[in-house]
Structure 1
């Protein structure tokens, strides 16, 4: 095991650039600083190239410095998570799919402005990873597009969002032939979403796999960029479309029937939500309006 004092000595030496200043900063002798570095190098190999005027890190030295900083960040997160159950202090961790994530993240930032003591950790992930992260306590809250049946999870309906057919603002869409002419902008859920929506809007037509594909991106925030430039159409959830930064360049083709997706709120069933999580859910409920489930 690497002794914490050795790591503090190594970090100070790197930051201050020489043994004398590091020893003064740590209130140690230069001999003690040298001894700590020797202990580390015995375990890890050469960490420093001792040039005449400066110290240079070896690859192992860079790796150890990264490790030290990761450990400090982990300790800080632990302290935040173990802080008292204060709605205005500590860490709030959540994991969501991309579309709803785009919708709620600006609201979470607004909450953090109101409560600067909060540290919000928000990750985007597909449903399988969301469920896994909540079960393994890597996130307190999760949102999933499929309802899990695991008894360790408390599950409730969070919101419903329709799938939308989104085309360039000037595009004319009266029938399937227009979609063939415009072409499809695909994404990781593109074929599934387009199949579910287009099979209902345009029954009897051959399906999305027969449409010319004009492009693909796996970044939820970029799917509508080629659509806005007239390069194709796409099908995606409303929250993702509402978060797009150039709404004047795109248009939603209205029609019936609607295809609605449910978003499920997940957390561990064995213990109550933190005050921070309760506050965040109240905050989001007040701001998502009609999309929130009753």
Structure 2
């Protein structure tokens, strides 16, 4: 274990480039700073190239400086995580599917803007990765589109996520032939989502495999771009469609029923949610209620 005071002296020295100024900034003697650097070099090898009026770092010195930065960031993260009793201060860590994440992330940033003491850590991931991230304590809360059966996570209903058939603005979709003419913009969950809508909307027609594929994209934020350009239709959760910046260029087909996905909120069952996580979730739920998405 490297002495924190030695590392502090090295970090400041690398920043200011002078033993004299380092000693002044740290309120130490110059001899003490030199001693700290010598201790580090005895363990790690040469860290500095000493020139007249100039100090450069060796490759080992650059590696140590990066290590010091990582330690500082880890300390900041620890401080944020330990402030669990404060609802407007600390880290809120959330992992979600991409479709819901696109819509929810700006709402979380809105909350952070109102409470700068919060730090939002949001990761987009498929369901299996969401579950593992929560189980491994990498993220405090997660959202899943399938309800997990795991005794180590607490599960509760968060929201309903309707599926929508999205077409280019002005496109006419009155028949199966209209969809075949438009063509399908596929994505990783595209065929399964489309099947859930089309099997009920057109029960006597063929399946999604009978519709020409006019493109494929695995980035959820870009799936609607080819649709907006008139290149085909797709099926997405409403949250992903709401997050698209050019909604005037797309339309949502109307059907007599709605295919729904449920979003499930998970966190580790062994301990309660932090006050800030509850505060963030209340904020999200209220926003979704106001938008009639709950």
TM-score under structure 1 length normalisation: 0.88
Aligned residue number for residue 7 of structure 1: 7
Residue 16 of structure 1, CA deviation: 0.4
Structure 1, unmatched stretches of 5+, are none
SS at match of 2:254: coil
2:62 paired with 1:26? no
Q: State the distance in 2 between where 1:67 and 1:252 align.
A: 51
2:199 paired with 1:199? yes
Q: State the distance in 2 between where 1:49 and 1:185 align.
A: 58
Provide closer, same or farther for how the CA distance between residues 195 and 3 of structure 1 changes in structure 2, counting only shifts above 3 A: farther
Provide closer, same or farther for how the CA distance between residues 264 and 84 of structure 1 changes in structure 2, counting only shifts above 3 A: closer
Cα deviations across residues 206-261 of structure 1 (Å, max 9, x unaligned)? 53345443333332222112211222222110011011111100011122443211
SS at match of 2:258: coil
Provide closer, same or farther for how the CA distance between residues 13 and 157 of structure 1 changes in structure 2, counting only shifts above 3 A: same
Provide closer, same or farther for how the CA distance between residues 211 and 32 of structure 1 changes in structure 2, counting only shifts above 3 A: farther
Structure 2, unmatched stretches of 5+, are none
SS at match of 1:197: helix
Q: Bigger CA drift: 170-179 or 229-238?
A: 170-179
Q: State the distance in 2 between where 1:49 and 1:218 align.
A: 48
Aligned residue number for residue 217 of structure 1: 217
Aligned residue number for residue 291 of structure 1: 293
Q: State the distance in 2 between where 1:189 and 1:237 align.
A: 10
Q: State the distance in 1 between where 2:144 and 2:21 align.
A: 53
Write out aligned runs for 1:253-268 (5 A): 253-268=253-268
Conserved 8 A contact 2:18-2:55: yes
Q: State the distance in 2 between where 1:244 and 1:84 align.
A: 34
Q: State the distance in 1 between where 2:49 and 2:171 align.
A: 63
2:192 paired with 1:160? no
Q: Bigger CA drift: 186-195 or 137-146?
A: 186-195
Aligned residue number for residue 68 of structure 2: 68
Conserved 8 A contact 2:98-2:125: yes
Residue 196 of structure 1, CA deviation: 2.8
Residue 43 of structure 1, CA deviation: 4.0
Provide closer, same or farther for how the CA distance between residues 7 and 170 of structure 1 changes in structure 2, counting only shifts above 3 A: same
Cα deviations across residues 50-73 of structure 1 (Å, max 9, x unaligned)? 455543444443332222222111
SS at match of 2:10: helix
Q: State the distance in 2 between where 1:179 and 1:50 align.
A: 72
Aligned residue number for residue 278 of structure 1: 278
Q: State the distance in 2 between where 1:165 and 1:202 align.
A: 13
Q: Bigger CA drift: 188-197 or 248-257?
A: 188-197
Q: State the distance in 2 between where 1:44 and 1:229 align.
A: 58
Q: State the distance in 1 between where 2:58 and 2:173 align.
A: 61
Provide closer, same or farther for how the CA distance between residues 143 and 82 of structure 1 changes in structure 2, counting only shifts above 3 A: same
Aligned residue number for residue 185 of structure 2: 185
Conserved 8 A contact 2:84-2:274: no
Q: Bigger CA drift: 278-287 or 39-48?
A: 39-48
TM-score under structure 2 length normalisation: 0.88
Write out aligned runs for 1:244-259 (5 A): 244-259=244-259
Aligned residues: 292
Q: State the distance in 2 between where 1:59 and 1:211 align.
A: 58
